[in-house]
Structure 1
Amino acid sequence: MRRVLIDENSAGQRLDNFLLRELKGVPKTHVYRVIRAGEVRVNKGRAHADTRLELGDEVRVPPVRLPDRVTAPVDYVPAKEFPVVYEDEHLMAVNKPAGVAVHGGSGVSFGVIEQLRRARPEARFLELVHRLDKETSGLLLIAKKRSALTALQDQFRERETGKTYAALVIGEWADNKKVIDVALLKFTGSDGERWVRAVENSHDPQADQAKRSISLVKVARRLPGYSLLDVTIKTGRTHQIRVHLQHAGHPIVGDPKYGDFEANRLIARGALKFERMFLHAQRLKFSHPASGAEIELLAPLPTECEKLLKDLSPPR
């Protein structure tokens, strides 16, 4: 049994990421198993995978042995760079492709951050500032210093950032529907998956557990049977845009969780051959963590999204 005191280089990390570095070579599934079993303790108490470690915390790390049958490297992570939109000594922003997780865990061996760390072995510090769903493409911020991570996460927490997404939805969005202010509740379904649902009725037995969530919607383009929206989120709830738009009666094209499954199947297997979710983090505005200068980043729509819009547009 080891007891590790959290220093400045580890403060602010999630417990699972900290352990994956401390227990190199141990399969991710085993690391998550010992966390769920309560074998890992933070300040003598049980903790969760997403527990944020603070300076001076004491983490009890249990002895973990590799199975005798393991003879090859476990959970191999390929080195990979991603399209860089902005980079300096404090942070970087990449344009994440759809279908790639931002980090490993929950059945995913590795994600953007693990591949970047492998591609940049000289980097002393690389941590995710925020997250995007695996199915979502677009701007993803990564801190290169602990001070930048803390400052940027404070901005996200205090809602001092501007995040706008492009979303193609089914149906004609009403021009007067500009604000969605509907609380959201996370829950685990019978399939063991994490889900989110809208809670509008105060008589809902779980209404007090739902969190207020606000999305601002603007129609960017109208297409026959579809609407391209600019969605700016004022809160950062899990699956917020996907559930808000679905709840409003306009699911996102290609959404495998909350979408119109028959429509998704037709658009993927028909002539259009569009096989992803049309949700793209296209604009990100924040204050630079060191200089305080206002930074506004833009990521153009991926080629496959532009092609779909062209294919759906009426002939001139």
Structure 2
Amino acid sequence: MIQVDDRCAGQRIDNFLFRLCKGVPKSHLYRLLRNGEIRVNKKRADCAQRLAQGDWVRIPPLRIAQPDHQQMLGRAHTLTPDADFPALYEDEDLLAVDKPAGIAVHGGSGISFGMIETVRRARPHAPFLELVHRLDRETSGILLIAKKRAALLHLHAQIRAQHIDKRYLTCVRADWRARRRVVSAPLHKYLTAAGERRVCVHPNGQAACTVFRLIQRYAGYALLEAELKTGRTHQIRVHLAHCGAPVAGDDKYGDFALNRALAREDAAPRLQRMFLHAHRLCLQHPSRGTPLELTAPMPDACERFLNQLHSVVQSGSDNRCFPAC
């Protein structure tokens, strides 16, 4: 018998069971629900039923295979990225971490461990840790994790209402002149012949809007701040490629020849990652209702790249700085 607390209130019974009964096949849990062996407040439960705080859930005895402890530790050490995830902010509702580039936010598609699995393993006694949003694997910066279900639902509502202000820093290969540029171009998802997910601008796609502000112009490059008005997959990268200003280091929509040149050991400037960083997030605190602003410092690799751009001497170079509006 398990009593539902405020962290799980509002959750569907099947999702509640999946989290609680890790290692039990989902098909088996659904069969127990259909047979009435899992009950809520002594009554049969439908798989779509949502739980309320104070509900009692009866779960019959279940056999869960327990792997060898030492083997599990060895596997986790091998598959989990060896990276430090500094906390930018933490309280009883929220955890904000600074995600490095090159690490997925969660496991899947051949990746055994991501950010959320690593955070959960580092906090084994935390009863609830769920991603509020996602970042591309190649993108660094602020990643929000909810520590209570009520906080997760509140933040998701803010995202749907477009009340969360997300700002990114990106460096593009282009002679960018506009101080402020609004790009509204619908985005369509598709699969390549190799089965990889891609996005393109298409009239039948989903509405997408990004506001770009020029921060600094270099010789052949520009540092931009991108404000997301919608949150589509690969939105910033595809909108910039559509404008003829590919993100430096972007291996999906960028200038591949340029990326290879920038990654060479003798390159100057040199860049071995995609220059896209989630640097600022403004939201309403889910329980206190007060404004909360989070910032993540620019990664060292991006700072070095910009410093090298500063030092590049070209005739007619334009290295003017523009404050972001």
TM bucket (normalised to shorter chain) is 0.7 to 0.9
Deviation sequence 1:59-110 (CA, Å, 0-9, x none): xxxx9998x9xx9439626597511111111101111100111111111111
Match in the other structure for 2:305: 308
Q: Secondary structure at the match of 2:279?
A: strand
Q: Secondary structure at the match of 1:300?
A: coil
Deviation sequence 1:6-59 (CA, Å, 0-9, x none): 99755558x8997476333x8xxxx8xx89xxx979x98xxxxxxxx7725xxx
User: What is the TM-score when the length of structure 2 is the normalising length?
Assistant: 0.76
Shift of 1:273: 3.7
1:290 and 1:187 mapped to 2: Cα distance?
Answer: 38
Match in the other structure for 1:114: 117
Match in the other structure for 2:76: 76
Kindly name which structure, 1 or 2, has the bigger radius of gyration based on alpha carbons: 2
The letter of the residue matching 2:272 is E
Q: Is the 8 A contact 2:180 2:214 kept in 1?
A: no
Match in the other structure for 1:232: 227
Q: Which residue of 239, 255, 261 corresponds with 1:244?
A: 239
1:116 and 1:214 mapped to 2: Cα distance?
Answer: 32
2:164 and 2:192 mapped to 1: Cα distance?
Answer: 32
Match in the other structure for 1:60: none
Q: Secondary structure at the match of 1:148?
A: helix
Calculate percent identity across the aligned residue pairs: 45
Matches within 5 A, 1:149-298: 149-175=152-178, 178-200=181-203, 207=204, 210-269=205-264, 270-271=266-267, 272-298=269-295
Q: Secondary structure at the match of 1:125?
A: coil
1:107–1:309 distance in 2 versus 1, CA, 3 Å: same
Shift of 1:111: 0.8
Shift of 1:226: 0.5
Deviation sequence 1:176-233 (CA, Å, 0-9, x none): 6610000001112211111111114xxxxxx1xx110000000111111101100000
The letter of the residue matching 1:84 is A
1:72–1:250 distance in 2 versus 1, CA, 3 Å: same
Matches within 5 A, 1:79-158: 82-158=85-161
The letter of the residue matching 1:294 is P
Match in the other structure for 2:59: none
Q: Is the 8 A contact 1:129 1:143 kept in 2?
A: yes
Consecutive unaligned residues of structure 1, counting only runs of 5 or more, are 1-5, 45-52, 57-62, 201-206
1:306 and 1:161 mapped to 2: Cα distance?
Answer: 26
Consecutive unaligned residues of structure 2, counting only runs of 5 or more, are 35-47, 52-61, 314-325
The letter of the residue matching 1:211 is Q
When the two structures are aligned, how many residues end up with a matched partner?
A: 286
Q: Is the 8 A contact 2:171 2:221 kept in 1?
A: yes
Shift of 1:172: 1.2
The letter of the residue matching 2:246 is P
Match in the other structure for 1:22: 21
Q: Is the 8 A contact 2:7 2:150 kept in 1?
A: no
